[in-house]
Chain A
Amino acid sequence: MNKLMVSFSPHIHEKITSGRIMLDVVIALIPAFIASVVIFGARAALVTAVCVASCVFLEWLYQRLMKKPITVRDWSAVITGMLLAFNLPVEIPLWQAVIGCVVAIIGVKQLFGGLGKNFANPAITARVVMFVAFSTTMTKWVPIPADAVSSATPLMVMHGSDGVLPEIWDMFIGMRGGCLGETSVIALLIGGIYLLVRRVVKWHTPVAFILTVFILALFDNWNPLYHLFGGGLILGAFFMATDYATTPQTNTGRIIFGIGCGLFTMMIRLYGNFPEGVSFAILLMNMVVPYINKLAAKRALGGARV
């Protein structure tokens, strides 16, 4: 007989692994990826590929140089790469995209301790940094469809830019200007439902986020659906505001987080200088997650509040 192994309980584990959860997120992003290629053409695939490859390579390089265990096989860098690409305009110069990846993987993720330790969403932080650093290319949109009168995104039109708002149905399928992965609501919803079904994310944050935006949009002059489908809300609510490491761990906390994201988004959209506020809202809410965790801590059975 072999030598017996001794270990602490439990001696059975659920099959799910962190790597599998990340892979599920990647799978959930594929419909939106396909939609981006259909809508924006092959360059969407190129930008995504460059971002994914740079993120994975940078993570590997950092861990190699710092003599840390190499964890690039856990798919998390792939997600960061895809999400960052989805938040970029299709015409973004590739070198700028690579700089975004450096910010995301090195600056936000690895310098704070790697997977699970970062306090802000890497893709969103990188997008915001790029938005400030490359403000021209980051707001240079292509007209969709190609014969459209202007290249302005629906939110820009609602914010006062020249242009015509697309039909609701066109926005639902993604035929409108914008970042390459944010436009096709239907594709994002398919991915979001997949995540909910696989129990990778809980409904609390997306529902609270989208509902808050919807309710506040009722007070605006435009059809509230333009606020829901016109910007990065669906992508943000399902894929960025549900990032485990940078969002609360209790259901109550997730609802508070979602409502906060919705409030900030609409405050920026209605009163801010920028037409779109989803990234800023999520980033702002990331900062207060420790306090939300405290506020919405679970109460032990028979114990007083933490």
Chain B
Amino acid sequence: MKKICGLPIPHFKNTAGNRPEAIPTPPEVTLNMKEIAGDPARLAVSPGDSVAVGQVVGVANGARSSPVHASISGVVKSISEIDPNTGKEAVSVTITSDGKQSIFSGITPPKVKALEQFLVAVQDSGVIGLGGGGYPTSHKLTLKASVKLDYILINGAECEPYITTDTRTMLDNAQDVVDGALLMQQYLDPGKILICIENNKPEAIKKLQGLTMALPGISVRVLPANYPQGERKILVYNVTGRIVPEGRRLPDVGCVVINCTTVAVFAQYIKTGMPLVSRCVTVDGSAVNTPKNVIAPIGTPIGAIFDFCGGLKEDCKKILMGGAMMGKAVPNLAMPTLKITGALIALSEKDARPVEPTACIKCGRCVSKCPMGLMPSFIEDAFEMKNIELLKKYKAGMCAECSSCAYLCPSKRPLAQVMSLAKEMIWKEGRK
């Protein structure tokens, strides 16, 4: 089987050796009822209510939803109808800190004896796809009776530049990752559990190999460090050789891909009862004074996190939430972090210099390197003609939005943006 050989992009894993440090409690946090995927949680507090760390402020609204927990103790200051990160309509709640960080009294480890209880516990932990997907994990793990689960792939590829939070999880919370794997093995009964790690993280590989050595059915799979190795369909293909057909989901081919930090979080919750209230964030980039890994409450304004890292340099021009390939540039420092925020990257003027697109020379670099086997240059032509039939024919809807095409393009065409808009165009057409 021919593996999908991605791009040798720079790794910039400068913070891989930095143990995460907890930041001081921020004066204020903002929590979103909805992150990028799944149904929004239902608000369970009103302004003026006192909340403690781990208390539910948003109740899961159905199976495709995940609860939201207070990440600091204090008072609910305000409720907003607008998502501060996207500007779209979505409920968010702002909590002012009382500085005590008192833990919510109702926190007790859940009783997990059967699959249903396990899935309820995963949902109650508030965990969503922490690698960036943001899909509620409990729903991902709720499989139809017809699914024969052969593989659970625990994704520790971390192929994005800069980010080292999964690396740190696998080093600092390796036991949690293994415990989570054991829980999934017990309740989901997969054929195999493979912890997939790129070969640029030798310490994490060694550590997890040691911990899983004696465990039947759980092992470490070492992968070449290529982008986008951690993309779920690519990972499934490169590890198992299975291809997810268009319009189908991973369980249809007997696979589940789950981020390693996600696994560690629900394993911790089942041990301690403490839901997802804080996470490790990599702070790096040419405009950060002291790059480091930090542990920050969910919803911390990113400015507070940069302050903890020695502040930003004078020439900071661009700030990213997420990695350099797929992350989103944010307009100001008041943005709160999300559960899915694994990195904050500040780029100096030199690194943030906008690229000038020139005419497509049809060199075919994007075509030859698209990991999903798409033809971005043709899709761009079809998009400019607004030819939805052609876009469908070229399978633009299958784009994984990994940005490889735009990274490679010698003419610096905004291909990733075009692919994203083309997907939206197809999606809107389908709703008509």
Partner-B contacts on A (CB < 8 A): 1-2, 4-14, 16-21, 71, 74, 114-117, 244-245, 248-251, 293, 297-304, 306
Contacts and interface: CB of A to CB of B under 8 A. Distances in A.
Contacts of A244: 361-364
Contacts of A303: 245-246, 373, 395, 398
A4 B361 contact: no
B375 A20 contact: no
A245 to B, nearest CB: 5
A302 B408 contact: no
Given A11-B327, A300-B398, A5 B364 contact: no
B244 A302 contact: yes
B216 interface: no
Given A74-B358, A299-B373, A304 B246 contact: yes
A37 B248 CA distance: 62
Nearest to A254: B364
7 contacts: A1-B312, A12-B325, A14-B408, A17-B411, A117-B359, A293-B378, A300-B246
Given A9-B328, A13-B406, A300-B398, A4 B318 contact: yes
Nearest to A249: B364
B361 A115 contact: yes
Contacts of B372: 300-301
Interface stretch (B117-125, B184-192, B264-272, B412-420): B412-420
* Chain B residues touching A, range: 35 or more
Interface stretch (B147-155, B196-204, B348-356): B348-356
- The 6 A-B pairs at the shortest CB distance, nearest first, are namely A249-B364, A10-B403, A8-B417, A300-B395, A6-B329, A300-B373
Given A250-B375, A306-B395, 17 more contacts: A4-B319, A5-B318, A8-B414, A10-B324, A10-B326, A10-B407, A12-B324, A13-B409, A18-B359, A71-B358, A248-B364, A249-B364, A249-B368, A249-B375, A298-B373, A302-B398, A306-B375
B10 interface: yes
B359 A71 contact: yes
A74 B358 CA distance: 10
Contacts of B403: 9-10
Contacts of B332: 4
B374 interface: yes
A4 B364 CA distance: 33
Contacts of B398: 300-303
Chain A, interface SS category: loop
A46 to B, nearest CB: 30
Nearest to A10: B403
Contacts of B317: 2, 4-5
A114 B359 contact: yes
Contacts of B233: 301-302
B307 interface: no
B330 interface: yes
A250 B245 CA distance: 22
A20 B409 CA distance: 12
Interface in B312-354: 312, 314-320, 324-332, 345, 347, 349, 351-352, 354
Contacts of A117: 359
B38 interface: no
B90 interface: no
Contacts of B394: 306
A249 B363 CA distance: 7
Interface in B1-57: 4, 9-10
B161 interface: yes
A8 B325 contact: no
Contact of B410 (A20, A245, A304): A20
Given A2-B349, A6-B331, A13 B412 contact: yes
